[in-house]
Structure formats: structure tokens, C-alpha cells
A and B are shown apart, each in its own frame.
Chain A
Amino acid sequence: MRIPLVTDAELAVRAAQGDGDAFGQLVERYAPAARRVARALLGNDHDADDAAQDGFLAAWRAMNRFDTARPFRPWLMRIVLNAARDLGRRRVVRDTEALSPAAADEHRGPDHDTDRALLRERLAVALTRLTERQRIAITMFDAEGYAHAEIAEVLGVPEGTVRSDVFHARRALRADLASFLEVGQ
């Protein structure tokens, strides 16, 4: 695992004191994870990017209230998720269209022949079969490497609930994405 030269804690302390460059480094570091988690929740890239951007903006505004003794990434991810939920509520009709299995087949992009495009479509459909909490839990645990306790803190639920969500989500995704998993083995 690559250890960053400057730790999150150091950057967060500087950002909390108003250092925009330090916060910019945190944006660069966490943008991929924030966009993936937002996409798992919202189902499309455009809304996910808007939500991630709203989240980073809200985090910057709240930096002076951030407790620098606590870890930065669960705090940031909670803000990004709240931003994604807000956006999801505002665009509920559009989300329904984007997340429906039928829509995933109809709205293929120009690169629909590639494996990756197919994976994205299948994954989008598979994720719609999970609850919102399961989507977040499986993405944060398996894709982003968060610990159960961190996810529990982000979601505001007991750790056992996260373990259960990951277990059920994993079983469902393994079934829905079996062909991709077999290819990868």
C-alpha cells in the first residue's frame, strides 16, 4: 500500500486553518473514491460528479468545524454521501430512469462494445437490486478499503449492520456479475 508523503491529518490541520492548497491535495487524493461512491448511490456519472463536487465544496466550508483529532476520510465521505442523497432527492425522476434495468440496455454509450462499458451497465443494474445502504457498504468496503467501523460511522448504523449489508450485497453482486468474475479468475 502506498503511503502518502503528507498524511491526511497534516493536510486536514492546514486546511482547517484556511490553507486552500492543502485542501486541494485532499480533493486530488479523494476525488476517485468520492466519485465512485457517489456513482454507486446515484447510478450515473453526471450526477455523481455533481454530488462529489457539492460534497467537496460543503467540506471546505465546514473545515473550520472539523475535529482534527479525528480521521478525515470518513468525515469527508459522510459529507459526500449527504450531498449525493440531497441530489438524489432533487432528481428522483431522472435517477429512476437512469437506474432502471431497461434504461441501462437502451442508453448505451459510444463504447458499448467494450468489456468495460458492458461491466458498467451490468453493475449499474446489479446495484439497483441492492438497498442504498448495501450499495454504499459494499463499495466502501470492497472497492475503497474502508473498515466496517468507518463505514458504520459514515452511515450512522451499528458495525454489525454494516457487516450484514456487505455480506448480502456481496452475495447478490457475485451472482449478478458471475460472468465477469469467472473471466477475471
Chain B
Amino acid sequence: MTNPFDHAPDEQLGMLLRRGLDAPAHDDFVHRTLALLATEPGRSSWDVLNTWLRPGVAAAVVLALLFSMWLRLAPPPSVEATLADAVQSADVPASLFSSAQPSSTDNLLAAVVEGR
């Protein structure tokens, strides 16, 4: 059994309603309405920017959250790896680090300057 409320549009009644409710002079109405809208003060660029404000702020918050999560999840580099990177990039002789005794400041500076 079909539900009496589960109906499709009644084409015949719909046509009668449109005929009975249709107002004349569609073009005149549209012209009048557009003329009225034209008298409205134009929306400033601030209004337009305002339409982007909320989604823009939301997107910035999401990006900041994702960035902070990425920072937390990424493992911090080890001291050895950092030191090795610095040595490689500065062309510092590895001999400075292989010695059992710590190098003097003069030796260290000399090695860096010579490396350039």
C-alpha cells in the first residue's frame, strides 16, 4: 500500500497554480528590481574581504595545528648527526675530531680558514 503523503508533483494542479498566480510584466518587474538594487551603496572591498575572513582564519588555524603536530611528531636530530653535518658543510678536517686531545682555538680557526 502506498503512502498517501509520499506523492509526486501534480502537474495539472501545478499548471493551474502557475496560471492563476502568474503576475504580468515580468520584464518590468525585473527592471524595477535591478534599478532598486543599483541604488544600494556598493559593497566595499572590506565587505568582500570580510566574506573571506572566517574561512581564511579557519584555514590558518588548521595549518598551524598541522604544523605544530608535525613538529611534535618529527624526531629531533642527534648531536652527532648535527656535528657531522656542520663539519661536512664547513670542510673542517676530520683530524681535529679524531685527536684524543681537544684542539686549541687557534688550530680550529686555522683549519676552518684553510678549508676555505
Contacts and interface: CB of A to CB of B under 8 A. Distances in A.
B51 interface: yes
A150 to B, nearest CB: 12
Contacts of A167: 4-5, 7
A53 B36 contact: yes
A79 B7 CA distance: 27
A23 B12 contact: no
Interface string A47-59: 0110011001100
A119 B4 contact: no
Given A36-B22, A52-B33, 5 more contacts: A18-B42, A35-B23, A56-B33, A160-B5, A180-B16
Interface stretch (B24-32, B58-66, B83-91): B24-32
Contacts of A81: none
A60 B26 contact: no
Interface of B: 4-7, 9-10, 12-24, 26, 29-30, 32-34, 36-38, 40, 42-43, 47-48, 50-51
A27 interface: yes
Contact of B48 (A17, A48, A60): A17
A112 interface: no
Nearest to A18: B43
A28 B38 CA distance: 15
Interface stretch (A3-11, A93-101, A138-146): A138-146
15 contacts: A17-B48, A27-B37, A35-B23, A36-B22, A45-B23, A45-B24, A49-B29, A124-B20, A138-B13, A167-B4, A167-B5, A173-B17, A174-B13, A181-B13, A181-B16
A24 B37 contact: yes
Contacts of A181: 12-13, 16
A183 B40 CA distance: 47
